[in-house]
């Protein structure tokens, strides 16, 4: 019996010794990043993938390694468009890189070259900068764990956030060129900014409110609805400052310490933006709070259901722009207006959807942030 155990132990040791050590060097970012079996294990323990136990989503690995957007990857002389691969690229525990149909056995000195989109060179802000910007404007501390920075040093008596769900930076530029958004265009050039991965509303809202990325605020999974980290709403509450959040028909994210108003689709036109606008104008009628937060969902809903660049989506963009025009007219003088998106949208061919987001592709990751001081 004892002999058998010894043989088993020796066999296990031999097998462990035979298992090839793998190491993947990721190039194309600021500096090469080495990802190996130990890094794999650490990330898998921190963020187990709900779909697979034996593999990490390569997109998650790239984000954690510091790549905020991806256009193409190359390995072993072959190049792959990220658009074709984002959902079928995995890195297994044993060091196999699965890229769609291709399976690449990694060795001790493998390299993956990452090409980010050219637009990355223009990125000058992050969704995590918005909470520090609000704090700076209103003269309160930034949320405790914020890593973002204030985008203006100026103070303001009020801040108005106009949150255009799913209206990415590239779509903004197309809409502006097409003449669909005269009111937005009149506010001046937007900052080219990045959202966080996964590029989805809950993760982006957590980053927006905390001023910190998912690894800090804890909202790394797109199903999480709450964060333990301090938010700008917590800070305002602590400072005795007022806020009013106008949301659509439900809260996608727990807005702790918000004074909020939901906007159901009372007229049954399958769009809550008209109700969000009416509720926002009603708030302004009653007196501007220190922070106003109006979340328009129409562009995102139309992007998913009918597709980006569908007639419905274009109508929602134009409607949001008209609504913005009405809001601006009623904002008190000196208000700092911040118009932004949480993520973008790209066309997909799926059974139930014409558009989606959530990846590291440029259409999903780049967002506009527009700062405007009301006269
Ligand atoms: Zn969406």
Do 191 and 81 lie in a common domain?
no
What distance in angstroms lies between residue 33's CA and the mean position of ligand 1's atoms? 31
Predicted local distance difference test score (pLDDT) of residue 5: 58
Do 128 and 101 lie in a common domain?
no
* CA-closest candidate to residue 182, choices 296, 295, 323: 323
What distance in angstroms lies between residue 304's CA and the mean position of ligand 1's atoms? 7
5 belongs to a structural domain: no
Do 108 and 124 lie in a common domain?
no
E-assigned strand segments in 232-317? 243-246, 260-261, 291-296
Do 106 and 128 lie in a common domain?
no
Do 292 and 351 lie in a common domain?
yes
What distance in angstroms lies between residue 18's CA and the mean position of ligand 1's atoms? 46
User: What phi-psi label fits residue 139: left (phi over 0), alpha (psi between -120 and 50 degrees) or beta?
Assistant: left
Do 253 and 217 lie in a common domain?
yes
CATH code for the domain in which residue 166 is found: 3.40.720.10
What distance in angstroms lies between residue 211's CA and the mean position of ligand 1's atoms? 21
What distance in angstroms lies between residue 357's CA and the mean position of ligand 1's atoms? 6
8 belongs to a structural domain: no
What distance in angstroms lies between residue 349's CA and the mean position of ligand 1's atoms? 15
What distance in angstroms lies between residue 287's CA and the mean position of ligand 1's atoms? 31
What distance in angstroms lies between residue 119's CA and the mean position of ligand 1's atoms? 22
Domains in the chain, number: 2
- Residue 281 CB neighbours (<10 A): 17
Are 329 and 150 contacting, i.e. CB atoms less than 8 angstroms apart? Answer: no
What distance in angstroms lies between residue 344's CA and the mean position of ligand 1's atoms? 8
What distance in angstroms lies between residue 300's CA and the mean position of ligand 1's atoms? 5
Kindly state the tokens that stand for 83.
């658009």
Do 150 and 133 lie in a common domain?
yes
Q: What is the dihedral of CA 338, 259, 327, 262, to 10 degrees?
A: 110
3-class DSSP state of 10: helix
Predicted local distance difference test score (pLDDT) of residue 9: 54
What distance in angstroms lies between residue 135's CA and the mean position of ligand 1's atoms? 27
Transcribe 251-263 into DSSP letters: -SS--TT--EE--
Domain that holds residue 41: 18-116
What distance in angstroms lies between residue 94's CA and the mean position of ligand 1's atoms? 34
What distance in angstroms lies between residue 117's CA and the mean position of ligand 1's atoms? 22
What distance in angstroms lies between residue 107's CA and the mean position of ligand 1's atoms? 39
Do 211 and 350 lie in a common domain?
yes
* CA-closest candidate to residue 127, choices 89, 96, 164: 164
Kindly state the tokens that stand for 14.
């031999």
What distance in angstroms lies between residue 356's CA and the mean position of ligand 1's atoms? 6
What distance in angstroms lies between residue 222's CA and the mean position of ligand 1's atoms? 11
For the chain, residues with pLDDT lower than 70 are 1-20
Are 337 and 187 contacting, i.e. CB atoms less than 8 angstroms apart? Answer: yes
CA-based R_g, the chain, Å: 23
- Residue 59 CB neighbours (<10 A): 22
Q: Which of 88, 116, 144 is the last residue of a domain?
A: 116
Full-prediction pTM beyond 0.75? yes
354 belongs to a structural domain: yes
- How large is the angle between the packed helices 273-286 and 311-330, nearest 10 degrees? 0
Q: Which of 75, 93, 116 is the last residue of a domain?
A: 116
What distance in angstroms lies between residue 159's CA and the mean position of ligand 1's atoms? 25
């Amino acid at each position: 019996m004892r002999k058998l155990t010894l043989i088993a132990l020796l066999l296990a040791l031999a097998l462990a010794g035979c298992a090839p050590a793998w190491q993947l060097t990721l190039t194309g970012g600021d500096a090469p990043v080495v990802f190996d079996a130990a890094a794999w294990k650490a990330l898998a323990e921190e963020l187990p993938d709900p779909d697979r136990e034996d593999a990490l989503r390569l997109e998650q690995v790239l984000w954690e390694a510091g790549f905020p957007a991806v256009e193409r990857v190359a390995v072993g002389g072959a190049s792959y468009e990220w658009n074709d691969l984002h959902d079928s690229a995995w890195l297994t525990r044993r060091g196999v890189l699965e890229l769609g149909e291709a399976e690449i056995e990694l060795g001790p000195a493998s390299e993956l070259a990452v090409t980010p989109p050219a637009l990355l060179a223009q990125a000058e802000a992050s969704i995590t900068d918005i909470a520090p910007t609000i704090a700076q404007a209103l003269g309160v501390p930034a949320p405790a764990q914020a890593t973002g920075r204030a985008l203006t040093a100026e103070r303001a008596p009020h801040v108005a956030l106009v949150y255009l769900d799913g209206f990415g930076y590239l779509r903004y530029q197309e809409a502006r060129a097409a003449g669909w958004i005269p009111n937005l265009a009149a506010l001046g050039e937007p900052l080219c900014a990045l959202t966080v991965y996964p590029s989805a509303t809950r993760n982006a809202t957590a980053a927006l409110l905390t001023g910190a990325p998912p690894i800090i605020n804890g909202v790394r999974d797109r199903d999480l609805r709450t964060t333990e980290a301090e938010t700008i709403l917590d800070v305002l509450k602590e400072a005795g400052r007022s806020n009013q959040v106008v949301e659509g028909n439900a809260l996608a994210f727990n807005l702790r310490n918000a004074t909020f108003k939901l906007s159901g689709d009372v007229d049954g036109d399958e769009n809550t933006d008209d109700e969000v606008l009416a509720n926002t104008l009603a708030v302004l009628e009653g007196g501007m709070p220190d922070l106003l937060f109006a979340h328009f969902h129409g562009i995102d809903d139309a992007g998913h259901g009918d597709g980006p660049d569908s007639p419905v989506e274009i109508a929602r963009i134009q409607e949001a722009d008209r609504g913005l025009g009405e809001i601006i007219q009623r904002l008190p003088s000196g208000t700092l207006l911040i118009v932004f998106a949480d993520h973008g949208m790209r066309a997909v061919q799926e059974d139930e959807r014409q558009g989606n987001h959530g990846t590291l592709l440029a259409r999903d990751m780049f967002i506009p942030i527009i700062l405007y001081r009301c006269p």
